Chains A and B, each alone.
Chain A
Amino acid sequence: MSGNGNKPKHGYVARVRDNTRRYIEELLQENVRLRGVIDTVGREQQVLRRQLDDLRIDLDRREQQHARLLALLGAAESAARGFEDRFAEVEQQNANLARLYAASYQLHATMHRSEVLQAIQEIVINLIGSEELAILAGGPTLTPLASMGVDEERLGALDTSAGALGRSLATRAPVLCDQDVAGIKASIPLVVGDRTLAVILIFGLLPQKPALDAFDRELLDLVATHAATALYCAELHEGKC
């Protein structure tokens, strides 16, 4: 009986032992598999690290390239602005030359005194920007030849020894100022030889014209010379000289 009694117990132990062995074998196999996985992951990690290093290097390179391109763009924009400014300057110079040419051309386009006077007025109105002007004949007393926007009484009261008018007659050269006591902004004597044929007076400027500038002075210098010659020629032509 005792032998039969031990048999099931022995069978149970053997099953447990076998199961345990299988379990241990499975664990060992799983361990081997996991070691393989760890090796694979380790290798992949190394690859990824290398890729990450490459990407960092590439990023640095691209950032440097970006900075260089930004610098180039800045330089190009600056150059473009320079060209734009230069173009505007050239256009302004062209316009100024056009004004000088137009003034000179108009003054010498006629031999008639009245038309010369008309041309002087047109130049002052359209190229200088004034609708308050007068042209006075030179001589011991100044007499109006033409005027616009200024009354005769005001012209009659002008003092030829003071202000812009007085200075321009004394120096025989154009005088420009902000505005003298008589309200004159520019006095331009028209001189030929030792004779002052006439004087152009500018009293007020158009609302959109804040002040006379350097180019206006250049234009008025030209008008002083060419208008004097044109007026003198016209007077010769009409037998007044």
Chain B
Amino acid sequence: MAKKILLVDDSNTVLLMERMILSHGRYELCTARNGREGVERAREERPDLILLDVVMPEMNGLDALAEIRKDATTRDIPVIMVTTRSEASSMETGFARGCNDYVTKPVHSSELLTKVRNLLGE
């Protein structure tokens, strides 16, 4: 059975890129356009992994991550943060809120695939 990945980003361009990169791995993909929708979709879909953008309208990625970690049904889902900034401070906040890993934009396919496969135990 194909592993399910939830992609959360407000940018169509990023969602399209992530879809194209991950389609090689034969994953089942679902998307959300902001943090709030991402939290809801995570509860509904129970994905095996979440790719979560940091800067988004309505609810940003860090707050969405906190919500995901609070909910018993989603707290164990591995989360990779997707960020434009690689500064230690923003990464520390992400890790403090429970993200498992992060990638920086522009997203490199080999880096993303390696991290996704690693967290999915492949």
A complexed with B? yes
Is the C-beta of B66 less than 8 angstroms from some C-beta in chain A? no
**Candidate in B11, B24, B104, B113 with the most chain A CB atoms within 10 angstroms:** B11
Instruction: Determine the chain B residues whose CB is within 8 A of the CB of A125 once the complex forms.
Output: 11, 84, 105
Chain A stretch 100-147: residues in CB contact (< 8 A) with chain B: 101-103, 105-106, 109, 119, 122-123, 125-129, 131
Asked whether A98 and B109 contact (CB < 8 A) given A126-B11, A127-B13, A207-B87, the answer is yes
Is the C-beta of B89 less than 8 angstroms from some C-beta in chain A? no
Chain B stretch 21-60: residues in CB contact (< 8 A) with chain A: 21, 24
Is A122 within 8 A of B13, CB to CB? yes
Is B84 within 8 A of A98, CB to CB? no
Chain A: interface size category: 20 to 34
Is the C-beta of A170 less than 8 angstroms from some C-beta in chain B? no
B117 nearest CB across to chain A (Å): 12
Is the C-beta of B108 less than 8 angstroms from some C-beta in chain A? yes
> What are the 9 tightest A-B residue pairs by CB atom distance, in nearest-first order?
A95-B109, A98-B20, A122-B13, A102-B16, A129-B106, A208-B86, A208-B104, A102-B17, A106-B13
Which residues of B are in contact with A by a Cβ distance under 8 Å? Answer: 11-14, 16-17, 20-21, 24, 84-87, 104-110, 113
Which residues of A are in contact with B by a Cβ distance under 8 Å? Answer: 88, 91-92, 94-95, 98-99, 101-103, 105-106, 109, 119, 122-123, 125-129, 131, 206-209
